[in-house]
Every structure is written in structure tokens, then in C-alpha cells.
Amino acid sequence: MFFRNDYAFFSVAIYLFSLLLSSPIFSVEPRFDSEIELGSNIMDSKDTTVDLDNNDFFWWQHTHQSVSEIIGSWSNNMDTFLSGKPSLGKSDSQVEIRFGPILDKDATTGFFEFHAQLKLPNTKDRLRLVIESDGDSITPENVRNEATENSSVINSALESNFSAAVRYIKSDLGADIDAGVLVDFPLNPFLRLRFRQHDREGSWTWHQKQEAFAYYSEGLGVRYGLGVNHQFSSSLNYGSDFSIVWLDNKGLFYARENFFIHHYVNSKNKLSYQLSFLQSGEDGLIPDSFLYNLQYERFLHEDWLIGQVKPQFTHEAEENYSGNFSLTLSLVILFGPKYVH
């Protein structure tokens, strides 16, 4: 089972993290600027959603504010260092932490995810510093539940293969290039090149992506993705997307089709429905599994603390498509100057 000590571990870890950032080594005069996108499926809302019983400023709120301000300071000082010009204004650089247990009939596991992007606007808005906990997960097409799933949340955090990369963005070409390393021993360098196109026609939008990547340990790969979305109303949209990837070192194709519905119940609550089909093979695609889930999201405090509940059924081909039920409970914490109120 997922016990309280896992949550206590992360409370203490975040508190110690804030103390570390506040040490003289990292202490800098904050200057704010920039904007960032995290590629997250979290609702974008500025509504504050929880009325506290009193006006006391709890330690976890203070920790969140301190870490968020330091992230903005880091971003602006790095921007100043690389560009030689002061970075003015309020930073939108952002860090996302997501973790929780995964319960099924056989065992209880856990996952931990960390994503950070620091924007450097004085570099003509072309550079990002990107840090991710699932840097070695290069085939999301065959992920059934969570890419960083492990025996527990703590083990997932301790054993995650973090990646750190500098991202160069060429907006007029719809391209970005990541050059970085997987933080492992020995260091594992990688290079990713992506091109994106998108357009809107009335309430319909479409997008596609072409990607090529090379990892020192994982080899070469190419990916293609295509998606379409329809905004049915201000609170409801639906669509589908398809992606296929080929890995040179395995000689395999992995493909996935997703069909989804997003329902924004109100400013606090969101429901998402998804049906996915997964395939793989050498010369042709063979069905591996299909799954369907419902995810409920709710803002628990302001716009930076989010709870998620996701029941899911997974049907594996090798198990004659007998259904396997799982329940994922997750907590999302967003840090950054934009979340300081």
C-alpha cells in the first residue's frame, strides 16, 4: 500500500530543497521575466479555488512561494549571464512535480515525474533549459500507465533517469532542437530534432510532428505524429491523435492511437475520457493492447496544487484481452513566479 510516509518524504524533500536554494551558493537578487509552456494536460486557470479556514500563512505555502521566486531568479540570472543584458519583468519559468500510487489487483506501485523549463527571453526567445525525470522514455507509444512507474513513489524518484538539455527554438520553421545528456553513469548524450505544423479552421484544429533523435545508448529513431481536435463548446472538446516511432537498435515500430474527450465542468474541475490502441512489430504492426480510462482533476489550492484520480482498464493481447483494472491517484505541484499570489 501507499503509506503516509511517502507523502511525508516529499513534504520534507520540498522543504529541504527550499533551504538549499536559499543558501548563499544560490542566493541571488531576483529579477523577473519570460513565459513558458510545459506541454501539460493540466487545466489553465487563474481562479483561486480553496477558502482557507483562516488567514495563517502555512509552512507549505511559504515553501512553495520561496521555491517559486527562486526559480524565477535562476531563470532571469541565467538569461542575463548568457545574453549580457539584464532580464526585466516577471518570469514565467515553471517546474512541475507529479507523483502518486498506482493500485491494481496484484500490487501497489508508484511513480514520480519532474519537468522543468527555464525560458531565456533575451536570447531572442529561442533558448530553454529543459530538465525531465523521464528522459530515457523514448517510446511513449507503448506506455500503458505511467512512464516512471516503480515499486513505490520513493523508488521512482530515486531511480529516475533525469535528462538535462538546452532547447533551441526556431519559431518561423516550427522547429526545435534539444542537445543534452541523461544524468547517469557514464553520462549519456542525446540529440533531438522536431518540426511541428498546426492550423485552425473554425472550431477545428489539426497538428502534426516529425521527429528524429539519437541517443548514445538507445541508438537512432524517427517519429511521426498527427492529431485533430474539435472545440464543441467553451467547456467541451474532443479529438484523436496518432503517432508511430521506429527504433534502429531494436528494429521495431511502435504505434498508438488515442481518442479523447475533455470536459471542463467549471473553473475547478475537469473530466477527461480516453480510449487508446497500441501496436508494435518489425515489418508490420500487430495489436499489443487497448485501454480506456477516466481522469478527474481538481484544483485543491489556488492554481498550483492539483489532485487527479484515474481509474483505467487495460486489455493485453498476450492475456487474451482480459481486463486489468488499475487506479492512479496523483498530486501535481506547480512552481514558478506565475503561481505566487
Instruction: Give the Cα separation of 151 and 77 in Å (integer).
Output: 39
**Above pLDDT 70, what percent of the chain?**
82
Instruction: Give the Cα separation of 245 and 139 in Å (integer).
Output: 7
Helix (H, G, I), strand (E, B) or coil at 12: helix
Q: Is residue 46 part of a domain?
A: no
Q: Is residue 49 part of a domain?
A: no
Instruction: Give the Cα separation of 300 and 29 in Å (integer).
Output: 31
Question: How many C-beta atoms lie closer than 10 Å to residue 51's C-beta?
Answer: 5
pLDDT at residue 76, as a whole number: 86
Q: Is residue 261 part of a domain?
A: yes
Q: Which residues contact 324 (CB under 8 A, 6 or more apart)?
A: 104, 105, 313, 314, 315, 316
> For the segment 188-211, what is each residue's pLDDT rounded down to a tens digit?
899 999 999 999 999 999 999 999
Q: Is residue 14 part of a domain?
A: yes
Task: Note the helical H segments in 44-97.
Answer: 59-83
DSSP 134: B
pLDDT at residue 193, as a whole number: 95
pLDDT at residue 291, as a whole number: 97
pLDDT at 30 over 60: no
* Structural domain total, the chain: 1
pLDDT band at residue 86, thresholds of 50, 70 and 90? confident
Q: Is residue 44 part of a domain?
A: no
pLDDT at 331 over 50: yes
> For the segment 213-253, what is each residue's pLDDT rounded down to a tens digit?
999 888 899 999 999 999 999 999 999 999 999 999 899 99
Q: ∠ CA(194), CA(238), CA(113), 5° rounding?
A: 50
Domain that holds residue 180: 4-39+57-339
Instruction: Give the Cα separation of 159 and 170 in Å (integer).
Output: 34
C-alpha 267 chain-centroid distance: 21
**HSE-up (13 A, CA, CB side) for residue 41:** 15
pLDDT at 119 over 60: yes
> For the segment 43-55, what is each residue's pLDDT rounded down to a tens digit?
444 444 444 444 5
Q: Which residues contact 75 (CB under 8 A, 6 or more apart)?
A: 33, 34, 87, 91, 93, 118, 119, 120
pLDDT band at residue 160, thresholds of 50, 70 and 90? confident
The answer to whether residues 294 and 272 touch, using CB atoms and an 8 Å cutoff, is: yes
> For the segment 251-288, what is each residue's pLDDT rounded down to a tens digit?
999 999 999 999 999 999 999 999 999 999 998 899 99
pLDDT at residue 134, as a whole number: 79
Q: Is residue 139 part of a domain?
A: yes
Q: Is residue 50 part of a domain?
A: no
User: How far lies 276's CA from each of 210, 224, 291, 293, in Å?
Assistant: 21, 17, 5, 9
Instruction: Give the Cα separation of 246 and 35 in Å (integer).
Output: 33
Helix (H, G, I), strand (E, B) or coil at 9: helix
**Above pLDDT 90, what percent of the chain?**
55
Question: How many C-beta atoms lie closer than 10 Å to residue 23's C-beta?
Answer: 8
Beta bridge partners of 218: none
Which pTM was predicted? 0.80
CATH number at 225 reads 2.40.160.40
pLDDT at residue 10, as a whole number: 52
C-alpha 70 chain-centroid distance: 21
pLDDT band at residue 57, thresholds of 50, 70 and 90? low
Q: Is residue 146 part of a domain?
A: yes
Look at the alpha carbons of 21, 24, 25, 29 in this order and tell me if their dihedral is positive or negative: positive
Average pLDDT score over the chain:
83
Give the β-pairing of 163-170 and 175-182.
antiparallel
The answer to whether residues 148 and 133 touch, using CB atoms and an 8 Å cutoff, is: yes
Instruction: Give the Cα separation of 1 and 281 in Å (integer).
Output: 36
pLDDT at residue 4, as a whole number: 47
